A and B are shown apart, each in its own frame.
Chain A
Amino acid sequence: MDMALKRNPSSASLVDPRLEAVLLRHEIETFNVRYANALDEQRLADWTEMFTDDATYVILSRENHDRNMPVGLIYCEGKGMIRDRAFALSETAMFAPRYLRHIIGNLDLLGDERDGTIKARANYVVLQVLFDRPDATLHQIGVYYDAFRRENGVLKLADRRCVYDNLLVPNALCLPV
């Protein structure tokens, strides 16, 4: 993208919708990388800050999603609940130590809403390593259905619905996806 900027230094070219799209894609991809890093490094407070105050965050199975059933593994209405989830996981939850890798790809921008909300979807893979086995396991595979909004110019998630394909959760989902 930097190279593209160099090739098109004029300000007029900045309103080129194709360039806007590239920049937005870059911005969201960067957001997703930071999101993944926050979770992989288990910085849950940082993760919390990536949501708007009125955000919803839900992880639900493909089975429920396809049947319009609302039950989620994690079901948060508002940043308060997202914060509570992060706080409780770091302060009280008991689970075996583990390493996680969130890999996010196939970002697809689905267009802007009139209120400035940006719809997007991306595939995600969560790999998990427990300390007693050599192999990483595919812990979850799914799709993010997202709505982004800017708060004070900063991109945040107003809605993230993580829809996972592997109906059977391997034992427990200890950290968000």
Chain B
Amino acid sequence: MAWTRAASLNEVPEGKALGIEVDGIHIALYNLDGKIYATHGICTHALALLAEGWIEDGKVECPLHQGQFDIRTGKALCAPVTEDLRTYAVRVEGDDILIDPEQPAAETVFGSRPAAAAPAKDASRVVIVGAGQAAAAAIRAMRTAGFNGSIDLVGTEPHLPYERPPLSKEFLLGTAEFSSSVRLSETDAVQLGVRLHLGVAATAIDAAQRQITLANSEVLAYDALLLATGGTPRRLGIPGADLPGVHYLRTIEDAAAIGATLDRAHHVAVIGGGFIGLELASTAISRGVAVTLLEREREIMARIMPAAVGRAFRIMAERHGVDIRRDARVIEITRRGARLGVVTGEDTIEVDAVLVGIGMQPTFDLALQAGCTTTPAGIEVDAQGRTSVPGIWAAGDCALYHEPVAGRRLSLQSWQNAEEQGAAAGRSIAGHNTAVAQKHPWFWTDQFGRNVQMLGIVSAEDHVALAAADEAGPGAIYRMFDKATGRLAGVVAFSNPQAIRAARAELDSATPFDPDIHGAIISSKGQDGADAMEASVMNANPGLSLTKRYIWPADGLTRIPDWVYTDQAIYEREVEKIFHGRTWNYVALEAEVPNSGDFIRSNVGPTPVVVSRAEDGSIHVFENRCAHRAAEFCRELSGNAKEFVCPYHQWSYDLKGNLAGVPFRRGVGGKGGMPADFRNADHGLRRLKVTTHRGVVFASYCDDMEPLADYFTPEIMREFEATFDGRKLKVLGYYRHSLPGNWKLYHENLKDPYHATLLHTFLVTFGLLVAGNKSLMLADPSGRHGVMASAKSDGKAVSSDAKKEMRAYKEGMTLAEPRFMDFVDEFDSPWSVTMATIWPNLIVQREMNTLGVRQIVPTGPHEFIMKWTMFGFEGDTEEMTRHRLRQGNLMGPAGFLGLEDNEAIKFVQDGMQRVPNGEHLVKLDPAVEAGTADNLISEAAIRAMYKHWRAEMGL
């Protein structure tokens, strides 16, 4: 006994409650008709202070989810509360209220348990398939109604029945344990006489014999069967939907996986702007994880409620920093190193994980087997949960609501529905088929610090009246009206439980809508202010115009629209998403900067960079742009330097790109100069990630770029290492040229073996290449890299058929000096010619013995610059070097082949610019949709490249 003074009597007026703390325990004091009662201050269902609840008829209603308790006894009276509330003994002495936290109130029910069910006296057998919340509700209702036959509970999950709402909220936030979600504990199961079959699926039903077969071959006979099989999350039907890191939420295991993901993630994408999606977004945000939410419709929640209300949810989420993209098509999910790329109609969003909440698919195979009437949305039941087959009931997420709503049979998929349908079925199975007063459908969601509740059933077509100062702020009330009758259909209230309480009466009232009471109608379908407002917001969104304008042809990969090659906005996006994105860009050969202080100018995409070798031998790549006033400070093509000094204001940088000196940094005579907190370390040149392999230097703007070997894939690496075989490179010189075409056409040209014998008649005329030569057009799994390879065959061996096939083959035409076409077999490769296209800016040319790397430097959609660095190897003889130089006549902007490629690409660009809105046809070799081709007459590698490009670009 420890009576403690808790409060003064006048602090608890009649009909009110007061929240206090005694010995660290939250306690609620109530005054019922002048008598003081005390209960534990926190709802047994979720974290809510009961002192803030509603008191009526001796009951307190939790402000959060409308669970009710009897104040005198602590008894849990209705859903969602099942656990009774602790009560405390109260004594009033004069003006003081004293309580004893160790002693319950006289009337308490807390701690008492329903009497253990008597052993099954009648032979009546009930089997429940699906061990979730509806099952638990049914079991309690059955026993309460006096049923004392046997109950077998079968569940696929290995767990006791638990409620799922906390899975997207408290469980992920760590504020609730799994045990608090359990709706039927082990003890309950014993006391209620339930035999558990957990972790085992029911696989078959024989409705005539009334028996169920389980996956473990056990057969259970029943007199009454309750199907409470719930459902499974609807899956994305797009490529990449099942990649690791893409999460769906239904079970405690799913939630645990999402929780583990959120521990590590910085940024997640949530697909689906419904209740689950928003709750996951809210949870992620409150755990400090950035969220991009993608909604397919024009407004979130649009399929279940009017856009004006969805908009309020969106505003609430956006205020908390969720980046919401509407009208978002998710086309594919791709791997991006250790991350994932969500490819939308607009771009690719790079995230650590993808959380999908796009609805639920009810599970009702057994109902179908048994012949129950179903719709795609669920099993049809009446108000007592009876299906069309005698002896079979259904409840919860797998069942439809018992009556049509706005003319449609739908499944409510709510906590309350599982509870009520389960209980109704339980009572009915126990023989009580008297109708219980129907409650209005009720939902709640906790997100972004608000508790939003919805009562009634609304549809997207309803009129909406808003009563609020802040459309998404606490207290906001949205009332949905049926357009035809003017009657209230439902109410959504933001952190306003009183409004929901009041709505019960409003929904029962026959009084039509009165704007004086409910506020002005702000929305009805088609012609409303909210819609007009939306339109202007969306037009202001440049992303939308992009989606509308850049429509890929319906044919898919076999057509490429001209705007891919001609559009400035597309080009700018390529620079951002590709050249400055997750790519390794070729910048130089190590042989060009062999010594400390050596530097060479290069580019990453169009951006000028400097490649420099520092004193410690390391190679650095940084932007050729002074951190002060942007001057392109390095003007020599290459050279050797101790430091880099911008000529404009003499800012100097070391060989790694760090800012070394700022003239007059401290001003002159104590005046002027940089602010005192200026630190050189904050103002270095923009530095890129660098990697090298076999003497080739690559740079990336992506900070967490994967290793080059992963970027290349083994196939491409094999070919790369065949050319860069470990011998030290010797640079023999450069070609540089502009090319008036789109940069991608160059990749395509080298993924297009079809052109080789048709454009380059030189090869065929002199019998050097025919279509019958052994060849391969390889594409890596991503589609971005490729190798065009062929093996030289003796011209004399060309079959007459093959000659006929090649129109340009001319007998008797011979070269005076054919030796320049000789092939000295110096490589460990089956191929004499390979052209490796390494995304996005490198071509490795191994044209027999003339070797080079070609660097693409785009300057706009219509032009790029190509820099060729031709090389041989240290240790080449004089004659070998000359052989490489002679063979070089094939390539470069004056090469027998090279000049033709450049001309052809220019012709393509010319053709597009003069005929608007055209498309290219890339249909050759339909046997390979996109990827590697084993023949020359194929465009499969071009298709593979565009598959990748579209994913990167989000188009």
Q: Check A108 for interface membership: any CB of B closer than 8 A.
A: no
Q: Check A81 for interface membership: any CB of B closer than 8 A.
A: yes
Q: Check A70 for interface membership: any CB of B closer than 8 A.
A: yes
**What 0/1 pattern do residues 886 to 927 of B give for CB contact below 8 A with A?**
101100111010111011101100100000000000000000
Distance (Å) between the CB of A61 and the closest chain B CB?
A: 7
Distance (Å) between the CB of A166 and the closest chain B CB?
A: 9
Closest to B865 in A: A168
Docked pose: A143 CA to B738 CA in angstroms: 21
B817 neighbours in A (Cβ, 8 Å): 78, 80-81, 84
Our pick among B735, B738, B889, B907 for the contact of A85 (Cβ within 8 Å) is B889
Q: Check B823 for interface membership: any CB of A closer than 8 A.
A: no
Our pick among B734, B865, B899 for the contact of A95 (Cβ within 8 Å) is B899
Docked pose: A117 CA to B220 CA in angstroms: 110
B896 neighbours in A (Cβ, 8 Å): 88, 92-93
Q: Which of A87-139 contact B (CB under 8 A)?
A: 87-88, 91-96, 132
A168 neighbours in B (Cβ, 8 Å): 736-738, 865
A63 neighbours in B (Cβ, 8 Å): 637, 733-734, 736
Distance (Å) between the CB of A62 and the closest chain B CB?
A: 10
Our pick among A76, A91, A96 for the contact of B903 (Cβ within 8 Å) is A96
Query: Contact between B894 and A74 (Cβ–Cβ < 8 Å)?
Result: yes
Q: Check A77 for interface membership: any CB of B closer than 8 A.
A: yes
Query: Contact between A171 and B865 (Cβ–Cβ < 8 Å)?
Result: no
Our pick among B765, B865, B882, B892 for the contact of A73 (Cβ within 8 Å) is B892
B910 neighbours in A (Cβ, 8 Å): 132
Docked pose: A91 CA to B813 CA in angstroms: 10
Q: Which of B143-172 contact A (CB under 8 A)?
A: none
Distance (Å) between the CB of B226 and the closest chain A CB?
A: 78
Distance (Å) between the CB of A11 and the closest chain B CB?
A: 43
Query: Contact between B734 and A172 (Cβ–Cβ < 8 Å)?
Result: no
Contact A71 to B906, CB < 8 A, known contacts A95-B899, A169-B894? no
A69 neighbours in B (Cβ, 8 Å): 731-734
Docked pose: A91 CA to B738 CA in angstroms: 26
Docked pose: A63 CA to B601 CA in angstroms: 13
Query: Contact between A88 and B735 (Cβ–Cβ < 8 Å)?
Result: no
Q: Check B690 for interface membership: any CB of A closer than 8 A.
A: no
Query: Contact between B885 and A88 (Cβ–Cβ < 8 Å)?
Result: no
Contact A84 to B903, CB < 8 A, known contacts A70-B885, A71-B734, A171-B740? no
**What 0/1 pattern do residues 858 to 891 of B give for CB contact below 8 A with A?**
0000000100001000000000011001101100
Query: Contact between A70 and B881 (Cβ–Cβ < 8 Å)?
Result: yes
Q: Check B759 for interface membership: any CB of A closer than 8 A.
A: yes
Query: Contact between B765 and A92 (Cβ–Cβ < 8 Å)?
Result: yes
B888 neighbours in A (Cβ, 8 Å): 71-72, 75
**What 0/1 pattern do residues 159 to 177 of A give for CB contact below 8 A with B?**
0000000011111111000
Q: Check B603 for interface membership: any CB of A closer than 8 A.
A: no
Number of inter-chain CB pairs below 8 Å:
125
Our pick among B637, B870, B899, B904 for the contact of A71 (Cβ within 8 Å) is B870
Query: Contact between B637 and A92 (Cβ–Cβ < 8 Å)?
Result: no
Docked pose: A139 CA to B896 CA in angstroms: 19
Q: Which of B642-662 contact A (CB under 8 A)?
A: none
B733 neighbours in A (Cβ, 8 Å): 60-61, 63-64, 67, 69-72
Query: Contact between A171 and B813 (Cβ–Cβ < 8 Å)?
Result: no
Query: Contact between A171 and B889 (Cβ–Cβ < 8 Å)?
Result: no
Q: Check B51 for interface membership: any CB of A closer than 8 A.
A: no
Q: Check A157 for interface membership: any CB of B closer than 8 A.
A: no
B813 neighbours in A (Cβ, 8 Å): 91
Our pick among A79, A132, A167, A173 for the contact of B899 (Cβ within 8 Å) is A173
B550 neighbours in A (Cβ, 8 Å): none
Distance (Å) between the CB of B859 and the closest chain A CB?
A: 11
Q: Check B808 for interface membership: any CB of A closer than 8 A.
A: yes
Distance (Å) between the CB of A83 and the closest chain B CB?
A: 5
Q: Check B816 for interface membership: any CB of A closer than 8 A.
A: yes
Contact A95 to B903, CB < 8 A, known contacts A71-B885, A169-B735, A169-B736? yes
Query: Contact between A96 and B736 (Cβ–Cβ < 8 Å)?
Result: no
Q: Check A59 for interface membership: any CB of B closer than 8 A.
A: yes
Our pick among B736, B765, B881, B904 for the contact of A167 (Cβ within 8 Å) is B736
Contact A171 to B762, CB < 8 A, known contacts A74-B889, A75-B889, A81-B886? no
Our pick among B882, B886, B893 for the contact of A171 (Cβ within 8 Å) is B893
Contact A172 to B893, CB < 8 A, known contacts A77-B882, A92-B808? yes
Can you name 7 extra interface pairs (CB under 8 A) apart from A91-B765, A95-B903, A169-B736? A77-B886, A85-B889, A93-B762, A94-B759, A168-B865, A171-B740, A173-B894
Q: List 26 interface pairs A-B (beta carbons < 8 Å), by A numbering.
A: A61-B733, A61-B736, A63-B734, A63-B736, A64-B734, A69-B731, A69-B732, A71-B732, A73-B735, A73-B893, A74-B889, A77-B882, A80-B815, A81-B816, A84-B816, A88-B896, A91-B765, A91-B813, A92-B896, A93-B899, A95-B900, A168-B737, A169-B737, A171-B737, A171-B738, A172-B893
The 5 lowest CB-CB distance pairs between A and B, nearest first, are A71-B733, A69-B733, A80-B816, A173-B894, A169-B737
| B residues in contact (CB < 8 Å) with A | 637, 731-740, 759, 761-762, 765, 808, 813, 815-817, 820, 865, 870, 881-882, 885-886, 888-889, 892-894, 896, 898-900, 902-904, 906-907, 910
